[in-house]
Copies of this chain bind each other. A is one copy, B any other.
Amino acid sequence: MAGRVGLDKQSVVEAAAKMADERGLQRVTLSALADSLGVRTPSLYHYIDGSDGLRRELALYGLRGLGMGLQWAAVGKQTDQAIEAMFLSYRAFAREHPGVYEVTLRAPDPLDEELRSASQRVVDTVLAVLEPYRLSPDDAIHVVRSFRATAHGFVALEAAGAFGLPLSPEQSYRRLIAVFLNGLRMLE
């Protein structure tokens, strides 16, 4: 009998995140997670609210990481350079944390204040970068949505292995960014 193991919510979530990124989100079962922590499955219920609760924690963890990444990427940059940096940062995060990234998009309970605010940080960062374009408030939101759609779409297709051909995804992404920035220019 190992006695107390000394877990806490953070270490559980981090172990789950690591497992999600290394083995794939679907293989993160409470069973496997408990094993990897040297504990029985029901013990996890002291830290997380079951399987759905763990997902939610992972989503929060992911959204925060993504938001921080975007914010850092935009530091000291302006307009097109800032947007490009955010695009690159977005993809980098998704590639480094495929399992965690995958869960960030699922099931955002509109009443979940923490999730909402982590999500808002992403939006606000993009909005801040759009400042110098002097868009109307509505237009700015349309563009934020477009940014997220564009970045997410590429990253999701890439993660799903949808790009089979022997043509660099790197380059495709740069092209996509160029298309986006060119397109933006017409709105100014």
Contacts and interface: CB of A to CB of B under 8 A. Distances in A.
Nearest to A139: B175
Interface string A99-129: 0000001111010000010010000000000
A179 B146 contact: yes
The binding surface of chain A is classed by DSSP as helix
Number of copies: 2
Q: Which 10 A-B pairs have the closest CB atoms?
A: A153-B153, A179-B183, A183-B183, A149-B153, A149-B154, A182-B183, A182-B186, A142-B175, A152-B153, A146-B176
Interface residues of A, number: 45
A45 interface: no
Given A152-B157, A167-B138, A182-B183, A176 B105 contact: no
From A119, A154, A162, A167, name the one whose CB has the most chain B CB atoms within 10 angstroms. Answer: A162
A178 interface: yes
